[in-house]
Amino acid sequence: MRSNKLRRRLHAAILPALAMLSLCPTAAANAATMDTAGEEVFPRHDWTDTVNPLADPHAVAGGEMNIFAGQQPKSFNYYLDNNSFTAELFGALYETLLGMDPLTLAYVPGLAEKWAVSADKRQFTFWINPRARWSDGTPITAEDVRWTFEAIMNPANLTGPHKVALEVFEPPVIVGPLCIRFTARETHWRNLGAVGGFHILPRHVYEKQDFNKINFELPVVSGPYRLGEVKEGVFVTLERRPDWWNRDAPSVCGIANFARLKFRFYAEQENAFEAFKKGEMDLFAVYMARLWINETAGERFERHWIVRQSVFNRNPIGFQGFAMNMRRPPFDDRRVRQAIAHLVNRPKMNRTLMYSQYFLHRSYYEDLYDEQHPCPNPLVEFDPDAARRLLAEAGWQPDPKTGWLQKDGRRFTFRFLTRDVSSGKFLAIFAEDLKKVGIEMIVDQKDWAAWAKDMDEFNFDMTWAAWSAGVFKDPEGMWSSKEADRRGGINITGFRNPRVDELIERQKTILDVAERHAICREIDAIVFNEHPYALLWNIDYVRLLYWNKFGTPPTVLSKYGREDSAYWYWWFDEDAEADLRHAMAERLSMPPRPAAVRFEEVFRSPRPAATPPLH
């Protein structure tokens, strides 16, 4: 599929914010047309747009899918609210210059019909497809690209992490109405992905507006969906565009099939799950073990009216943990942070609250380790005695009268900022173990918008943060010292380390993925030892529930995708819905679907890349 960010969301956040693909000169030279100046032009001369191999030829357009979207975000503008739901929604509305092949991760045309890379890999020229149009019929031009770049980089605009990858570029130069050139001040493996991968916005619509106030009104788009009905705090609807400029391209056949995508907002997963079981939502990815184990029995499941599937693919593994604000006491002390890690009783939480469904983290880059590269980080055990020793070393001593720890006349009390009531069971166990060693934790419950505001202003002591991962690792946004004080960034702990900064700088010019990943493993060891997070747990597959009325490709989800790839590859099956209604009315069973789906076992049609992977 040609539209880049949409394509990335189609195979489910292969590269989340800042995790861009790299440019491999050897692969590129084999694929590109070389001009007389040594400039490589893509795609190669024999490239043709082809059908997406993951899309099902039987997919039909129409129908509606209702989806749980969490709490309503503070903005639908992904540049202002960097979260996975906003990225999904924004990626359906706006496109980028380059796309990616869903199997090989090679670049393919997006809004740009071709692009060129200079011999020194620092200059990138894009030619916009002359057919590309905004939804109001206005042509998409180089002016739109330049204006969007300038809006992102404007210091007054709260575009946080989106600035990171683009900061190395000079202001782009318009070569012609449909041609724009970017020049990087330094070589970096992510440069092509950075300039080819940001969403282009319509200059003629937004140029006179305050960018920081472009939140929920997005009237003119370029992608396959437009913003439909919005009911604040309840739902937002995306409507399929029959007039999308790229609708007839072979690569989008069987893609973006639903006439409407309705994202429903719930503050709590349990409430959303109850709505799903009532049929108010169609698809529910389960992130709570209790729901998966205890709440997926009964007639609706036993008769296969609701499908329960575990989907295994190559989706990168992120991490989650209790993030500590290292910018201020008491978590500016490494010994205190390590002590806190020893006071999180992960085995008990996993056993009693999650039915031992999860593996315990010991790395920030779990998927960089295997038999050839075993993880050297020790598993942080629940060990209150070790915690007491570390806290004593840091100067925290128990008050003889109260038992609370104190230092310099200050009692050890901190606030845990949370936006999810369901975290309460975990925090109760944590708080009790903290209390036993003399630490008081106060839970500060807020909604998403208030939580995000406090996070942007670094107004927190500790919070629960979960991060997705990219296929190609870029440590800069989360671990660089220069990102520690960027509002709206992803270095939420305020992590700073000179050696990590050196390693981040070194990996920027390395084109070999294996070598870069080796550096990331070295960074991981340093970060792990500093304990900016009390690491928690994860799973390596998607737990999926859905009403048995949809057509799906054999792989169910894409190669690198999570549940969001279902929004794009599935379709509404009228016959299946009729069968479901009949089965429910007559109390009949429907044919079962596989309980587990493994991408590598199901997918059997690999094909050569249109342009070899640029990494």
Number of compact structural domains in the chain: 3
- Residue 35 is predicted with a pLDDT of 54
Residues 391 and 340 in one domain: yes
Half-sphere exposure at residue 37, Cβ-oriented, CA atoms within 13 angstroms: 9
Residues 510 and 579 in one domain: no
Residues 328 and 452 in one domain: yes
Instruction: Tell me the pLDDT tens digit for each residue of 424-482.
Output: 999 999 999 999 999 999 999 998 889 989 999 999 999 999 998 888 899 999 999 99
Q: Looking at 22-26, 189-193, 503-507, 540-544, which range is the least confident one?
A: 22-26
Residue 220, in any domain of the structure: no
Residue 373, in any domain of the structure: yes
Residues 197 and 263 in one domain: no
Residues 206 and 237 in one domain: no
Residues 431 and 570 in one domain: no
Residue 51, in any domain of the structure: no
Residue 221, in any domain of the structure: no
Instruction: Tell me the pLDDT tens digit for each residue of 161-179.
Output: 899 899 999 999 999 999 9
Cα–Cα dist 14/333, whole Å: 35
Pairing of strands 235-240, 33-34: unpaired
Instruction: Tell me the pLDDT tens digit for each residue of 28-81.
Output: 333 445 454 678 999 988 889 999 999 998 899 999 999 999 999 999 999 999
84 and 562 in contact (C-beta within 8 Å)?
A: no
Residue 69, in any domain of the structure: no
Closest CA to 366 of 538, 111, 564, 146: 538
Residues 478 and 583 in one domain: no
Residue 324, in any domain of the structure: yes
pLDDT average, residue stretch 543-562: 95
Cα–Cα dist 460/504, whole Å: 27
Q: For residue 24, give the CATH number of its domain.
A: 3.90.76.10
pLDDT average, residue stretch 241-247: 97
Residues 235 and 354 in one domain: no
Decide if pLDDT at 570 tops 90: yes
Closest CA to 487 of 172, 212, 234, 213: 212
What range does the domain containing 120 cover?
Answer: 4-46+75-213
Residue 63, in any domain of the structure: no
Name the pLDDT band for 104 (thresholds 50, 70, 90): confident
pLDDT average, residue stretch 351-371: 94
Residues 306 and 380 in one domain: no
Instruction: Tell me the pLDDT tens digit for each residue of 431-447.
Output: 999 999 999 999 999 98
**Could you tell me the pTM of the whole model?**
0.79
Residue 402, in any domain of the structure: yes
Residues 374 and 506 in one domain: yes
Name the pLDDT band for 267 (thresholds 50, 70, 90): confident
Closest CA to 52 of 578, 587, 568, 596: 568
Decide if pLDDT at 184 tops 80: yes
Q: For residue 523, give the CATH number of its domain.
A: 3.10.105.10
Name the pLDDT band for 605 (thresholds 50, 70, 90): low
- Residue 36 is predicted with a pLDDT of 44
Using the 3D structure, point to which of 538, 556, 571 is the last residue of a domain: 538
Name the pLDDT band for 253 (thresholds 50, 70, 90): very high
Q: For residue 253, give the CATH number of its domain.
A: 3.40.190.10
79 and 96 in contact (C-beta within 8 Å)?
A: no
- Cα dihedral sign for 379, 497, 467, 295? positive
Share of the chain above pLDDT 90, in %: 81
Residues 435 and 524 in one domain: yes
Residues 263 and 121 in one domain: no
